[in-house]
Amino acid sequence: MDTFGRNYRVSVFGESHGGAIGVVVDGVPAGIVLSEQDFMTDIDRRRSGAKGTTPRREPDVPEVLSGIYEGHTTGAPLAVIFRNRNTRSRDYSLFREVPRPGHADFVAGVKWHGFNDPRGGGHFSGRLTLPLVAAGTVAKKILSLLAGSFEVKAELLEIGGISSDVPDVREKWDRLLDETAEDGDSLGGIVGCTVDGLPVGLGEPFFCSVESLISQAVFSIPGVRGIEFGDGFNAARMKGSQHNDVFVSRDGKCATNGAGGINGGITNGNPIAFRVAFKPTSSISRVQNTLDFRKGELAGLEVPGRHDVCFALRTPVVVEAAASIALADLALSSMSSGYIQTAVI
């Protein structure tokens, strides 16, 4: 199922080389100032063009089909589509029988009995993160209205093992990207995300904890291999006396933030902090071994087409979107479980 959320409901659809991809968001409160232009800042951050990204260029112009009237959201579902323009009518049928390593060619064929749209990865393409980003833009607007000081910020912490902390990191990353491209290979990376300004109390116990919903949304991004909050995997090597965060002020602020802003699945007033690991791009130019399912034997496969050397470069805004969608859902849900003695409907 391609639907997420209880009160902020996001349904993503589309295939990489089909007519259009898009998103329907049900549950957008009425009266939010919103125009097609508002989507462009985030869309531009996701766009290819920089070193290490694919040469495929798409205009990525959002077309709002419903849910906006006279510059405001109407309360009815918001539908936004993006036409696929720069598609190439190459023959993808080979990959049905000789699947690309690391891609969904094989599993999609089995799952959907060979009827999956194979072109450009079909529904499993990273292109589908575009409607996710659009839904994220609206989620951020909602969170900003509900919590005035809300701010979400994701950025690359690592490419190919080189941390953003080292001096001259831009040059080092560029050189690595160039070398890897020349090798016909690809790189992974790590994205860090911080969410500031949310009140104490968002999140639900158990299956709708802040971590549960953020991770559910983040793992919908193709190529994610791991997520960790606060001290993350390091926490497993700490003592309780080291890891516990000491409250220092009545708004819940702590001296440290090893919990990543979350206790018991609920925001505690400190910044939500998490890191996401992205694998290296699966499509590489060099010849790779894979199984030729027709013959039942290994074969050398050259994957043609236009690839990102490191698609992680384009993901910070996607991670922001995933987190914002999860948090907008929790924020709207929180309103429905508000202090009933003072609630109004």
Smallest distance from the beta carbon of 283 to its own copies, in angstroms? 8
Among residues 20 and 40, whose Cβ is nearest to its own copies?
20
Cα-to-chain-centroid distance, residue 304: 26
Among residues 42 and 84, whose Cβ is nearest to its own copies?
84
Smallest distance from the beta carbon of 43 to its own copies, in angstroms? 18
Smallest distance from the beta carbon of 42 to its own copies, in angstroms? 18
Among residues 148 and 167, whose Cβ is nearest to its own copies?
148
Among residues 44 and 66, whose Cβ is nearest to its own copies?
66
Picking from 39, 15, 61, 332, the residue whose alpha carbon sits closest to that of residue 202 is 332
Among residues 37 and 341, whose Cβ is nearest to its own copies?
341
Smallest distance from the beta carbon of 275 to its own copies, in angstroms? 8
Between CA 211 and CA 92 the distance in angstroms is 38
Smallest distance from the beta carbon of 36 to its own copies, in angstroms? 11
Report H helices in 22-155. 40-46, 94-97, 105-111, 129-146
Long-range contacts of 39-42 (CB under 8 A, 24+ apart): 39/80, 39/133, 39/134, 39/137, 41/137, 42/133, 42/134, 42/136, 42/137, 42/317, 42/320, 42/321
Among residues 115 and 171, whose Cβ is nearest to its own copies?
115
Smallest distance from the beta carbon of 86 to its own copies, in angstroms? 17
Q: Is there a contact between 43 and 130 (Cβ–Cβ < 8 Å)?
A: yes
Helix (H, G, I), strand (E, B) or coil at 291: strand
* CA angle at 60 for the pair 57 and 61, rounded to the nearest 5°: 140
Whole-angstrom distance between the N-terminal and C-terminal Cα of the chain? Answer: 32
